[in-house]
Structure 1
Amino acid sequence: MLPRVTTETAETSDEWRRAETGDDWRRPGPTPEQRRLDLFAGLAATALALLSLTLARSTGAFLLGPPPSGVEQLFWTVAVPLPLIWRRRFPVAATLAVSAAFIGSQVRAVPEWQLSAWALFIAIYTLGAWGRDRRLSRRLRIGVIVAMFTWMGIALSINYRTLTAESFDDAVGPVPPVLAAIVTGILVNALYFGFAYFFGETAWVAARREHQVAEQAERLRRSQAEVREHAVVGERVRIARELHDVVAHHVSVMGVQAAACRRVFDKDPAKARDALAAIEETARQAVDELRRMLGVLRARDGDPENARQPAGIDRIAALVDRAGEAGLRATLGVYGDPQSLPESVSQAAFRVVQEAVTNVLKHATGASLLDVRVRYLAQEMEVEVSDDGRGSRSANADGMGLIGMRERVATHGGELEVGPRTGGGWRVRVRFPLPAGSST
């Protein structure tokens, strides 16, 4: 087991290292505009190198030694900067081509070396900034730098034998002239290659960070879109739940009253008039609740004009009274010391009782008794609605009413129990946790 744990740990550490260093990120290739820019820049560098060669030959200062033929000078002068045309599209191949041509021109003592040195600098920088494989680009850059220093050492060892005392007649410093020349060459080349490596690495890190910022912005945009979508869906669900609670209850009561009116219309006109009056009152209450709900939906923060007080637990008595008017023997019992409830909890309790009463009126076959009980306990409030109706209402277990109940109760961290009770009938019981210090 130990070797496996060690292997897994090493793999995990390697993943963390790649995440920290960004070795697993691949920079996208250059755009068409960048490719065109590289083409023009490479051709311009080649033209400047040819101009530099012309000037160097005109001065006759051949610092690297006797130069080769003119055709060969032109070849090496063009071979060093021309691969920069593909520097961002093929950074590895361009760097290898420029490096090989640069060493070749140095070996052949081509008098043009100023523009060639800049071309080598740009190639090493580009490989660091645009190399898709970070490990390969690092190793290749280090390899090129080592090769350049190796060539510099070889050149110094070759030229050392040609140095004479007369070459340093004007030397006045405390450091031996040969040593001073060697140290100067090493320092200059160290700065030269060091800056090429550093700037390339910095450009790549900047591109990776820009990519990460763009990704984070895109994730934030998607997250905001999802939040907006969820908010819209949540608002639609809330509106649908409110409409169901308001319309279903009052329509059910009006349907029961209308049926009663139809049965006694010819036999007992007085009861028929009472039933019609109850229908009228219930319709008025339905319209009032719809207006209140629409006012709440339209109300803005700090605009109490349209936001009316929502129905709360104090209106349960009116629900029970209307159920009694519909022909049920309805009772309401309140147990324990009443406590002040948060507005949302009070409204949720009222809506649960309203939906339970509606289900009794619509689905409880032969129901004659409706018992509503409100219990204030130490840490929770319990509301229970039961009836003595016959038949099963399990077919409606996934109806809109029970779904709305579950959503309201779940929102406040409560518990909902729905099912038949012992001895017949149906019971709906819900418990809402009470916040600390809610006792009056």
Structure 2
Amino acid sequence: MRTRNIEEWRRPGPTAAQRRTDLWIGLGVAAGAVLNLFLSRSFGMLHTEDAPARIEQIAWALGTTLPLIWRRSRPDAAAIVMSALFIGGQFRGAQEQQVASYALFAAIYTLGAWGPVRHRARNLRLVIIAAMFVWLTVAFVMSWDEIVGDGFDGASGELPALWALVFNLYIVNVVFFVAVYLMGDSAWQAARRLDTVESQAAQLRAAQAAAAERAVIDERVRIARELHDVVAHHVSVMGIQASACRRALDKDPARARTALTAIEEGARTAVDELRRMLGALRASGATAEAATSGVDRIPQIADSARETGLTVHFAVFGDPVPLPDSVSQAAYRIAQEAVTNTLKHARATTLDIRLRYLSSEVELDVSDDGNADKSDKSGGMGLIGMRERVAVHDGVLENGPRSGGGYRVRVRLPHTAVPKEAMAGETT
């Protein structure tokens, strides 16, 4: 699977800047080949009895170098054209040797580094290299008479002249062709690794952006939930008190004043809660948790409900233990939301709030004698908030109509009691 993925990878094509660079390189190399051709003609290197005309020699020099302009955009075609013209120019005895050879090596290297289809680039390079060695052998055989004639006059080396020539021709070419072949593969592998790294970096940036977006959404949900918990309860209480004040304003001014006082206190409490909540949102870590409300404030919820005219029973069972701040806050917010639903929807006359400390759980039980159908339809964001808070702590939420009438919300939140010594240490 890994090999298949490597073979299927396609190197991105050259950029506009790289194509412009190739244009200038191709023109520059072609100019160098023509100049070297003139230099070679000037000292008689290409002068033979059947030498082609000068214009043909210039055409061969340009044909074997100008395709470098397309070496990265069309590496297959450039390598094929240049190798074919290189052999053709040598066959005609008009080939400029030095610059054309380097240009051919550059074309083979580029085919290995930029070939769009990997197996085709590999096979095509092998065919071109094999053709070059075939032509080298053919040219050697064609020049045999000249070589064995007076070609070795003055040879004074330690090795036989003929074998020294053969090894020199083949070994030098083998070294050059193997080098450009391997360099092309190495460049292609480097480009693939770079593309993989860039792709992984892009995926990492996308994952980080998605995580940041999720964090923002989670924070918005948290803020919305906190605002709902803080505002809904107190506004509901103030609405009920305002209704009682309106009904008693003419008949019982004293009762109306009491309701107005309760509204004033509820508004002040709501503002304090909002400030406390905003402070917790601005803070982080333990500072934020410490700024939240906990089970010790559930009696205040009972008092607020009592001020609306409900008969409220509040009781604590078991030995109270210090709770983790997150569990304490969750219990407080669930109690607040359950009481708010009772005030807004249930039309109840009696409310029962019980807090039980069990061995490894804290249980909150809020029940009323109101209209269970209306209370059950009031899920909305409040019930969603309850479920989320319970799910975070791996707790259990039970809500629904009671068998004897009314509605009940019961929550069990697992916890590990915080040692009193640790609590004392935090407050000192």
The TM-score normalised by the length of structure 1 is 0.86
Q: Tell me the residue number matched to 1:354.
A: 336
Q: Give a deviation string over 1:354-396, Cα, whole Å, max 9, x none.
A: 000011111112x222122223333332222111112403663
- Pick the aligned partner of 2:411 from 404, 419, 430: 430
Q: How does 1:226-241 map to 2 (within 5 A)?
A: 226-241=210-225
1:65 to 1:277, Cα distance in 2 relative to 1, 3 A: farther
Higher alpha-carbon deviation: 65-74 or 352-361: 65-74
RMSD over aligned Cα atoms = 2.7
CA gap of 1:32–1:270, structure 2 versus 1, over 3 A, is closer
Query: Are residue 409 (structure 1) and residue 379 (structure 2) matched?
Result: no
Structure 1's 89 and 330: CA in aligned 2 closer, same or farther, altered over 3 A?
Answer: same
Q: Distance in 1 between matches of 2:224 and 2:19?
A: 57
Partner of 1:186: 170
Matched, 1:17 2:17: no
Distance, in Å, in 1 between the alignment partners of 2:253 and 2:42 is: 128
Looking at structure 2, the residues matched to 70 and 263 of structure 1 have their Cα atoms a distance apart, in angstroms, of 117
Write out per-residue CA displacement over residues 40-70 of structure 1, whole angstroms, 9 at most, x where no aligned residue: 2222212211111112122223599964443
Return the alpha-carbon distance in structure 2 between the equivalents of residues 372 and 258 of structure 1.
Answer: 24
Corresponding residue of 1:376: 357
Cα pair 1:42 1:83 within 8 Å, conserved: yes
Aligned to 2:155: 170
Post-superposition CA distance 1:213-253 (Å, at most 9, x none)? 33333333333333332232222222221111111111111
* 2:327 alignment counterpart: 345
1:3 counterpart residue number = none
> Residue 28 of structure 1 aligns to which amino acid in structure 2?
P
| 8 A contact 1:388–1:426 mirrored in 2 | yes
Q: Which segment is superposed worse, 209-218 or 99-108?
A: 209-218
Distance 1:315 1:187, change over 3 A: same
1:163 match: secondary structure: helix
Q: Which runs of 5+ in 2 are unaligned?
A: 421-428
**Would the aligned equivalents of 2:10 and 2:117 in 1 still touch at CA under 8 Å?**
yes
1:400 pairs with 381, 389, 408, which one? 381
Q: Would you say the 8 A contact 2:83–2:104 is kept in 1?
A: yes
Q: 2-side partners of 1:228 and 1:64: how far apart?
A: 77
Alignment partners' CA distance in 2, 1:177 and 1:338: 107
Structure 1 residue 317: deviation in Å?
1.5
What is the aligned partner in structure 1 of residue 198 from structure 2?
A: 214
Secondary structure of 2:157's aligned partner: coil
The letter for the 1-side match of 2:297 is R
CA–CA distance in structure 2, aligned partners of residues 400 and 83 of structure 1: 70
Tell me how far apart the structure 2 counterparts of residues 339 and 191 of structure 1 sit (CA, whole Å). Answer: 83
Equivalent pairs counted in the alignment come to 419
Aligned equivalents of 1:156, 1:308: Cα separation in 2: 92
**CA displacement at 1:397 relative to structure 2:** 4.6
Distance 2:244 2:46 in 1: 120
Does the C-alpha gap of structure 1 residues 157 and 280 become closer, same or farther in structure 2, counting only changes over 3 Å?
same
Deviation, structure 1 residue 351: 0.4
CA distance in 1, matches of 2:375, 2:305: 22
2:170 and 2:356 map into 1 onto residues whose CA distance is 90
Could you say what secondary structure the match of 2:147 adopts? coil
Q: Which amino acid aligns with 1:291?
A: R
Distance in 1 between the 2:233 and 2:373 partners?
Answer: 20
Is the partner of 2:359 in helix, strand or coil?
coil
Aligned mates of 1:65, 1:330 — CA distance in 2: 123
The superposition leaves residues 142-187 of structure 1 with CA deviations (integer Å, 9 ceiling, x where unpaired) of: 11111112222333344445433861643432x4333332223222
CA 1:415–1:176 in 2, change beyond 3 Å: closer, same or farther? farther
Deviation of 1:321 after TM superposition, in Å, equals 2.3
**Counterpart of 2:424?**
none
Output the CA distance in 2 between the equivalents of 1:281 and 1:162.
118
Instruction: State how 1:130-209 maps to structure 2 within 5 Å.
Output: 130-164=114-148, 167=152, 169-173=154-158, 175-209=159-193
Return closer, same or farther for 1:74/1:264 CA change in 2, 3 Å cut-off: closer
The equivalent of 2:312 in structure 1 is 330
1:390 aligns with 2:390: no
Contact 1:369–1:387 under 8 Å retained in 2: yes
Cα deviation, residue 80, structure 1: 0.8
Q: Is the 8 A contact 1:64 1:110 kept in 2?
A: no
Instruction: Give the 3-state SS of the residue equivalent to 2:404 in structure 1.
Output: coil
Deviations 1:178-201 (A, max 9, x none): 333222322211221122122222
Which residue of structure 2 aligns with residue 79 of structure 1? Answer: 63
> Is the 1:295–1:308 contact (alpha carbons within 8 Å) kept by the matching residues of 2?
no
1:389–1:424 CA contact under 8 A, matched in 2: yes
Q: 1:181 to 1:398 in 2, by over 3 A?
A: farther
Query: Which has the larger displacement, 343-352 or 38-47?
Result: 38-47
In structure 1, which of residues 281, 285, 310 is the aligned counterpart of residue 269 of structure 2? 285
For residues 64 and 156 of structure 1, what CA distance do their matches in structure 2 show?
A: 18
Give the Cα–Cα distance (whole angstroms) in 1 for the partners of residues 49 and 26 of structure 2: 28
1:29 is matched with which residue? 13
TM-score, length-scaled by structure 2 = 0.88
> CA 1:308 to 1:411, structure 2 compared with 1: closer, same or farther past 3 Å?
closer
Q: Secondary structure at the match of 2:363?
A: strand
Letter in 2 for 1:118: Y
**Residues in 1 aligned to 2:17 and 2:247: alpha-carbon distance in whole angstroms:** 86
